[in-house]
Amino acid sequence: MMHTAREEEPMDETTVDAIVAAAAAAAKPWAALGSADRAGVLRGIADRLDAHAEELIALAMRETHLSEPRLTAELQRTGFQLRLFAWTVLDGGYLDVRIDTADPDWPMGAPRPDLRRMNIPLGPVLNFAASNFPFAFSVAGGDTAAALAAGCPVIVKASPGHPLLSRAVADLIEQALLECGAPSGTFGLVLGREAGVQVLTHPAITAAAFTGSTAGGRALYDLACRRPVPIPFYGELGSINPVFVTEQAARTRAEEIAAGLLTAVSSSAGQLCTKPGLVAVPADAPVLGALSDLIRTRPVPTGELLNEAIAAGFAAVVRQVRDHADVELLAGGGPDEALLLATTARAVLADRDGLLHEMFGPATLLVTYRNTAELLDLARAVGGQLTATVFGEQADETTRALIAAAVDVAGRVLWNSWPTGLSVTYAQQHGGPYPATTAPSSTSVGTASISRFLRPVVYQSVPEDLLPLELRTGNPLSVPQSVNGAPTR
Amino acid sequence: MMHTAREEEPMDETTVDAIVAAAAAAAKPWAALGSADRAGVLRGIADRLDAHAEELIALAMRETHLSEPRLTAELQRTGFQLRLFAWTVLDGGYLDVRIDTADPDWPMGAPRPDLRRMNIPLGPVLNFAASNFPFAFSVAGGDTAAALAAGCPVIVKASPGHPLLSRAVADLIEQALLECGAPSGTFGLVLGREAGVQVLTHPAITAAAFTGSTAGGRALYDLACRRPVPIPFYGELGSINPVFVTEQAARTRAEEIAAGLLTAVSSSAGQLCTKPGLVAVPADAPVLGALSDLIRTRPVPTGELLNEAIAAGFAAVVRQVRDHADVELLAGGGPDEALLLATTARAVLADRDGLLHEMFGPATLLVTYRNTAELLDLARAVGGQLTATVFGEQADETTRALIAAAVDVAGRVLWNSWPTGLSVTYAQQHGGPYPATTAPSSTSVGTASISRFLRPVVYQSVPEDLLPLELRTGNPLSVPQSVNGAPTR
């Protein structure tokens, strides 16, 4: 039996300890299951999510206030994500197999021994689920899929925003694991802040992933670092996702940009990690006017926020920005209406701490700049971001400098497109410099995220029949191997 | 002019600040230099080290007490390492280029945009030099080569053990950078503990690497984590490098193992990060007798320790272990003689904190076990290690379990060979679970170490002529590209 929380009982320390102990005991046998079995589990979870789509979506609508189309798309993405990780496991490229054959004349000055290196699972992983994606970043979400794919047992700390859905999804994961003969303890679910901290600080846990607020995430990061044995903490703590509109683009495409912006700000009630929270436009361009016109004539419905805690947090940060002496209300702000605030680049540059805040809801700050130099200064001042977007014209030399500035601050740089809507692919990078993430070299979306839960080990002069199959000369599993510095398969 | 310390002046805060500011200013232009130029710099440094070998080795002998053959080999390795990183830069595989072409039918449920991802330099890097490898892990050592190769400016905090050599090598690096047109500030040298802390906590620094003691390294790691903007800290803090000798191997190869052990323990005066500090042998096997005989008839000369601080630290930790109630002196321990202490597996399992210490000098602890179960318990109890070694016979089933246990605790697992002597190769892994390192997913030796100083960025829907050359469809630089999940070139 898998270890999961029972909603009806408070989760005490002993229960949590048992869940961690089960994960620790499962680490070896789960890692030892072959790639076909691990891929089978991932597909089994996806199949079960599909089979129970109707009831899961109904539950999610009840607990999160998100719309049916939104949740339907998210559930499809979640199943796809699990299947993409099944492909990743079977492909084997994530193992980063490197083989150096023995070389008596290696120019280092000493004979090179036979060295064979591959990635292995880190061990039991803790995943703090996010509230805003009850499927894709929650119990069976990206970090769970990546950790299971890597060969690590996973304990999910459920989001308090959707406890019943969390339990329902956990049950489906359990079933899929049981069916494939995975060891008991491969998956566990814990509920409650204290339980999360208890697992995070447990010696058996080897890595943790988190998506949420800067304050909460930093506190957990600090706990992870302060452990007697510190562990990698992959935290996604907050991002403003600046959008930079050049003078040329603002002149020629004001209405198009205004309309796209309002959709991006209001979709999923603005509760997306990649919602544009700052949009820089030229002071004298018609974008501002077009936006005002649009929102006056067609107020943007946004829907209810995820839960009371998020609504209260949103209200507080909006009040802080709105009350700033240099900020004016441009449009919106009524009940269920997207909110547009406005200020100047000069004001932002003078008071970054006062004006640069993630507003986790349907709001954005329009920032007017007077010239390209000010725009570039602003781009360089925004801090670490998940995304940065340039709306521009290809022939305009400003765009090259803006893209360079965007690369400096962000993990994903977009051209004439909106950062909401995150494709799950081989190349995707969802991460960025702090505070966007605590680990800028890693991603939480895309097949590369499996690397979070791996560490390399090299075998020196070990005979073939004592080596893992992936490292053998005949390459019986047909994994990608790099031999003496040259990729091969 | 590059910014380096002047030995004759105390390095005040203003000077250190200027060095960091110069590194920050150099970050963009240095990263923008092409791969050929960066490779040229690395080769230029290697060529200069070769050209000045005689004077550098003389200086190193004076400051470190290491022998001429040892330093000659180390200098050759250091030059080779720089040239191998030049190859790595030119090869381009480290960029991990991934291209997903636009796909309207991407099964996630939404059209996939064009996504192109590559690694970019993190920014200015701080490298705390080690004392025991005055060339290979110091000013022009592995972390400096990896960071420069990655496109990051480097500031080295010199080891107090060899300040004059540090300056001399820094001057050669300066010359090589100048000759290749690298920006001023690409390299800097700072001296003194306070200066190291000042640089580590400076907002412009984006990563730090360290090799040294557990206490010192952990203090610096804590500082790196506690920054307002935390940074990756790649610390190598200490390793006991256990060696497990099976009953069969102990029976058939006692003399050979005893002789190899003494060489491994005493080479470089035992001051190698990979010196075997614990050797597990069966209680009833002749290895112990063979060792005692060997050392009695032919005491093992070890040479002077690196400096007074290291000698004092070694004496203190040896005293602690030697005075333990369950430890006896087996042999050696006279001036310049390798020291062999002995205890039992049972004692170690009962008091890990009292008996498992890195002894940074020519000493090792022989641990006798009574049966295979005890040996495996010991292997699992030793904690995170850079290396773990198995001496065994291929047909013996114990070896399979032992290798598995070794993989659990270490970054490098050796079979019938000694862990001292670390080849610099494509597959090498020099790292391991804490406290061996603070970042078990990374390596400090081998071409993979370049990843420490990179972060990925993805370009979404960016037109070809605004993309870096590495990400273009025509692949004008012929770097390895993975297109839609399939590696190609």
What integer pLDDT is reported at residue B284 of this predicted model?
A: 80
Among all residues of chain B, which has the CA nearest to that of A464? Answer: B394
Q: Which residue has the higher pLDDT, B309 or B427?
A: B427
CB spacing of B438 vs A91 below 8 angstroms: no
Query: Is B54's pLDDT higher than 80?
Result: yes
Spatial CA neighbour of B270 closest among B333, B219, B216:
B333
CA distance B75 to B81: 10
Phi, psi of B357 (to 5 degrees): -130, 140
Query: From the candidates B103, B423, B430, which should be mutated to test the interface with A, based on the most A CB atoms within 10 A?
Result: B423
CA distance A435 to A452: 18
Among all residues of chain A, which has the CA nearest to that of B471? Answer: A427
Catalytic status, residue B54: no
Between CA A257 and CA A262, with CA A260 as vertex, the angle to 5 degrees is: 110
The encoded tokens of residue A265 equal 């700000």
What integer pLDDT is reported at residue B335 of this predicted model?
A: 74
Place A5 in a pLDDT band, splitting at 50, 70 and 90: very low
CB spacing of B463 vs A394 below 8 angstroms: yes
Q: What is the pLDDT of residues A232-252, one digit of tens each?
A: 999 999 999 999 999 999 988
Find out whether A183 and A77 touch, Cβ atoms under 8 Å: no
Query: From the candidates A425, A451, A481, which should be mutated to test the interface with B, based on the most B CB atoms within 10 A?
Result: A425
CA quadruple B141, B120, A235, A380: dihedral positive or negative? Answer: positive
Question: How distant, in Å, are the alpha carbons of A98, A117, A434 from that of A470?
Answer: 10, 9, 36
Q: Which of A74, A174, A273, A470 is catalytic?
A: A273
Q: Read out DSSP for B111-132?
A: PBPPEEEEEEE---EEEE--SS
Give me the mean pLDDT over the A8-14 stretch: 76
The shortest C-alpha distance from A103 to chain B (Å) reads 11
Helices A35-51 and A163-179, packing angle to 10 deg: 140
Place A488 in a pLDDT band, splitting at 50, 70 and 90: confident
CA distance A89 to A77: 18
Residues of A in contact with B203 (CB under 8 A): none
Longest Cα separation, chain B: 78
Place B6 in a pLDDT band, splitting at 50, 70 and 90: very low
The architecture CATH gives domain A242-415 = 3-Layer(aba) Sandwich (3.40)
Q: What is the pLDDT of residues A469-478, one digit of tens each?
A: 999 999 999 9
B103-142 as b/e: b if 16+ CB within 10 A? beebebebebbbbbbbbbbbbbbbbbbbbbbbbbbbbbbb
Q: Which of B236, B247, B358, B374 is catalytic?
A: B236
The encoded tokens of residue B352 equal 């890990």
Domain boundaries, chain A: 13-237+440-488, 242-415
Whole-model pTM: value is: 0.96
Place B238 in a pLDDT band, splitting at 50, 70 and 90: very high
Query: Is A8's pLDDT higher than 50?
Result: no
CA quadruple B475, B479, B481, B487: dihedral positive or negative? Answer: positive
Give me the mean pLDDT over the B427-437 stretch: 97
Looking at this predicted complex, what is its ipTM? Answer: 0.96
User: Residues B148, B154, B157, B162: what is their CA dihedral angle, to the nearest 10 degrees?
Assistant: 40
A484: β partners: none
CA distance A230 to B221: 10
Q: Read out DSSP for B130-144?
A: -SS-TTTTSTTSHHH
Nearest by CB to B429, from A108, A230, A457: name it.
Answer: A457
Catalytic status, residue B7: no
Phi, psi of B203 (to 5 degrees): -60, -25
Residue B476 preceded by cis peptide, ω within 30: no
Contacts of B33 (CB under 8 A, 6+ apart): B151, B180, B181, B182
CB spacing of A229 vs B384 below 8 angstroms: yes
DSSP A111: P
What integer pLDDT is reported at residue A219 of this predicted model?
A: 97
Q: Which residue has the higher pLDDT, A408 or B336?
A: A408
Q: In A96-186, where does DSSP find H-type helix?
A: 142-150, 163-179
The shortest C-alpha distance from B471 to chain A (Å) reads 11
Give me the mean pLDDT over the B277-288 stretch: 85
DSSP B444: S
B118: β partners: B457
Q: What is the pLDDT of residues A438-455, one digit of tens each?
A: 999 999 999 999 999 999
Residues of A in contact with B384 (CB under 8 A): 229
CB spacing of A462 vs B415 below 8 angstroms: yes
Residues of A in contact with B217 (CB under 8 A): none
The shortest C-alpha distance from A206 to chain B (Å) reads 9
Find out whether B184 and B174 touch, Cβ atoms under 8 Å: no
Q: Hey, what amino acid is at A426?
A: Y
Q: In B65-206, where does DSSP find H-type helix?
A: 68-91, 142-150, 163-179, 193-200
- Per DSSP bridges, beta strands A278-282 and A242-245 are parallel
What integer pLDDT is reported at residue A302 of this predicted model?
A: 75
Place B346 in a pLDDT band, splitting at 50, 70 and 90: very high
Average per-residue pLDDT in chain B?
94
What integer pLDDT is reported at residue B276 of this predicted model?
A: 97
The shortest C-alpha distance from A239 to chain B (Å) reads 14
A148-167 as b/e: b if 16+ CB within 10 A? bbbbbbbbbbbbebbbebbb
Q: Hey, what amino acid is at A37?
A: D
Among all residues of chain B, which has the CA nearest to that of A434? Answer: B229
Place B8 in a pLDDT band, splitting at 50, 70 and 90: very low
Among all residues of chain A, which has the CA nearest to that of B82? Answer: A108
Residues of A in contact with B448 (CB under 8 A): 96, 98, 117, 456
What integer pLDDT is reported at residue A293 of this predicted model?
A: 76
Q: Which residue has the higher pLDDT, A294 or B340?
A: B340
Find out whether A210 and A126 touch, Cβ atoms under 8 Å: no
CB spacing of A110 vs B80 below 8 angstroms: no
CA distance A155 to A177: 14
B13-237+440-488, CATH topology level: Aldehyde Dehydrogenase; Chain A, domain 1 (3.40.605)
Q: What is the pLDDT of residues B352-363, one digit of tens each?
A: 999 999 999 999
Summarize chain A as % helix, strand, coil (round to 5): 45, 20, 35
CA distance B1 to A488: 44
Spatial CA neighbour of B350 closest among B324, B318, B371:
B324
Spatial CA neighbour of B231 closest among A390, A439, A87:
A439
A190: β partners: A157
The shortest C-alpha distance from B28 to chain A (Å) reads 9
Least confident of A115-129, A372-386, B283-297, B373-387: B283-297
The encoded tokens of residue B83 equal 């040239």
Find out whether B431 and B405 touch, Cβ atoms under 8 Å: no
CA distance A167 to A229: 31
Q: Hey, what amino acid is at B452?
A: R
CB spacing of B461 vs A415 below 8 angstroms: yes
Residue B435 preceded by cis peptide, ω within 30: yes
Give me the mean pLDDT over the B88-105 stretch: 97
Q: What is the pLDDT of residues B145-182, one digit of tens each?
A: 999 999 999 999 999 999 999 999 999 999 999 999 99
What integer pLDDT is reported at residue A103 of this predicted model?
A: 98
User: Residues in chain B, how many?
Assistant: 489
Give me the mean pLDDT over the A130-141 stretch: 96
Find out whether A29 and A59 touch, Cβ atoms under 8 Å: no
Between CA A218 and CA A222, with CA A221 as vertex, the angle to 5 degrees is: 85
Query: In sequence order, what E strands does A259-327 have?
Result: 278-282
Nearest by CB to B429, from A113, A456, A465: name it.
Answer: A456
- Count of CB contacts below 8 A, A vs B? 236
CB spacing of A423 vs B87 below 8 angstroms: no
Q: Which of A236, A247, A358, A470 is catalytic?
A: A236
Query: Is B343's pLDDT higher than 70?
Result: yes
Contacts of A469 (CB under 8 A, 6+ apart): A476, A477
Place B295 in a pLDDT band, splitting at 50, 70 and 90: low
Cβ-based neighbour number of residue B474 at 10 Å: 8
Average per-residue pLDDT in chain A?
94
Phi, psi of B283 (to 5 degrees): -65, -30
Q: What is the pLDDT of residues A287-300, one digit of tens each?
A: 677 777 776 676 67
